[in-house]
């Protein structure tokens, strides 16, 4: 039976505070917990070591005894008996092994379940008389791990609030997608992550939304943008033009002399505002005036007449 460095097992220094010990233990115990590492004997052994280290270092009396005797742990019981015989309190005074005292023979063994705790622990702290807290009846609870998932949608799908079903770790989950959700936005479903350990709370599920836009519109926030072709004659003389918006057609009046690149705003014809019912952004139309090509001789003649009028 060799000396076990509990501080090394938890990855902490010997002057670590109670909070440091608790934090280190919880982090490592969750990482190596058998429920998260099924059929992994190495993880199970590590988990037992962590429990043992925490059992000692989180208890002020046990930690004091461990720090006092160190590698002389095999003789701890005999040392304490000697101290009692000399009127000293156990765990107090000097360690005779630090001043050249003779070695004591091992005459004490504990009655712990060796599947949980090492011989080192049993010999140093004894059995049931030591006030040891049985890990079988006082198990630490751990919150389940958070899960992450991705959901691919197109722009038309998120124009209206609707239901979506996705499979996460073999479980079908039906969620509501609010209208107006943005690309890259995350939906959090509380307690839909991995189950907790030893009765601990379940983790959460985070669903990242990714939008594919194959439409003729571009989106910036709650506003939509669209380029609309306009023939030269309508641009010069004015008129009307029917255009497609995201939710249907509208007829626009075109002012005479409309220039290429002119932008008009259609209020309330943009994208739904996230989680604000009946609130919409705006639609911006940019006119692209097209020059006529393949003019007939008659058309060229008319254009020359217009030119000469200037």
Q: Are 127 and 110 in contact (CB under 8 A)?
A: yes
pLDDT at 173: 92
Task: Report whether 68 contacts 90 (CB < 8 A).
Answer: no
The conformation of residue 193, written as its DSSP 8-state character, comes to: S
* Six-digit token string for 307: 């030119």
Tens digits of residue pLDDT in 6-29 = 999 999 999 999 999 999 998 898
**Closest of 258, 261, 265 to residue 234, by C-alpha:** 258
> 76-85 vs 60-69: helix axis angle to the nearest 10?
100
* Run of H or E residues at 148: strand 147-154
Phi, psi of 5 (to 5 degrees): -90, 95
Look at residue 301 and tell me whether its pLDDT is greater than 80: yes
271: number of Cβ within 10 Å: 23
DSSP-based three-state secondary structure for 225: strand
Is the pTM higher than 0.85? The answer reads no
Q: What is the pLDDT of residues 138-197, one digit of tens each?
A: 456 778 888 899 999 999 999 999 999 998 878 899 999 999 999 999 999 999 988 887
Residue pair 239/258 in contact (Cβ under 8 Å)? The answer is: no
Q: Which residues pair with 250 in a beta bridge?
A: 243
* Residue 197 contacts residue 36 (beta carbons within 8 Å): yes
Closest CA to 183 of 227, 152, 204: 152
What pLDDT, in 10s, does the model give residues 225-239?
999 999 999 999 999
Task: For residue 183, give the nearest of 147, 158, 166 by alpha carbon.
Answer: 158
pLDDT at residue 31 tops 60: yes
Q: How much is the CA Rg of the chain, to the nearest whole Å?
A: 38
Spatial separation of the C-alpha atoms in residues 274 and 227, rounded to whole Å: 25
Q: What is the edge-to-edge ordering of all strands in the sheet holding 263-266? A: 218-220, 223-231, 283-290, 263-266
In terms of Cα–Cα distance, which of 184, 192, 177 is closest to 147? 192
Which of the pair, 271 or 34, is modelled with greater confidence?
271
Give the chain's mean pLDDT. Answer: 82
């Amino acid at each position: 039976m060799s000396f076990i460095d509990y501080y090394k097992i938890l990855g902490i220094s010997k002057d670590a505070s109670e909070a440091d010990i608790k934090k280190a233990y919880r982090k490592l115990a969750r990482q190596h917990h058998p429920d998260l590492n099924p059929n992994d004997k190495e993880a199970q052994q590590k988990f037992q070591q962590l429990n043992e280290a925490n059992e000692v270092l989180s208890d002020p009396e046990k930690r004091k005894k461990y720090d006092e005797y160190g590698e002389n742990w095999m003789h701890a019981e005999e040392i304490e008996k000697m101290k009692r015989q000399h009127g000293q309190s156990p765990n107090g005074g000097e360690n005779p092994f630090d001043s050249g005292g003779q070695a004591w023979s091992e005459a004490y063994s504990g009655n712990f379940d060796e599947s949980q705790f090492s011989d080192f622990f049993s010999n140093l702290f004894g059995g049931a008389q030591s006030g040891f807290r049985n890990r079988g009846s006082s198990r630490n609870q751990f919150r389940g791990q958070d899960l992450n998932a991705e959901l691919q949608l197109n722009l038309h799908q998120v124009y209206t609030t609707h239901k979506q079903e996705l499979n996460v770790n073999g479980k079908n989950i039906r969620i509501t997608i609010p209208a107006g959700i943005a690309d890259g936005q995350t939906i959090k479903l509380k307690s839909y992550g991995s189950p907790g350990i030893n009765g601990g709370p379940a983790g959460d599920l985070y669903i990242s939304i990714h939008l594919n836009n194959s439409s003729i519109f571009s989106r910036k926030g709650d506003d939509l943008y669209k380029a609309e072709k306009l023939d030269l004659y309508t641009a010069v003389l004015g008129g009307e033009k029917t255009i497609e918006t995201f939710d249907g057609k509208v007829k626009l009046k075109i002012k005479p002399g409309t220039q290429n690149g002119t932008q008009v705003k259609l209020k309330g014809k943009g994208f739904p505002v996230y989680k604000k019912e009946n609130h919409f952004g705006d639609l911006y139309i940019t006119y692209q005036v097209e020059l006529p090509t393949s003019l007939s001789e008659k058309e060229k003649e008319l254009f020359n007449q217009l030119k000469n009028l200037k």
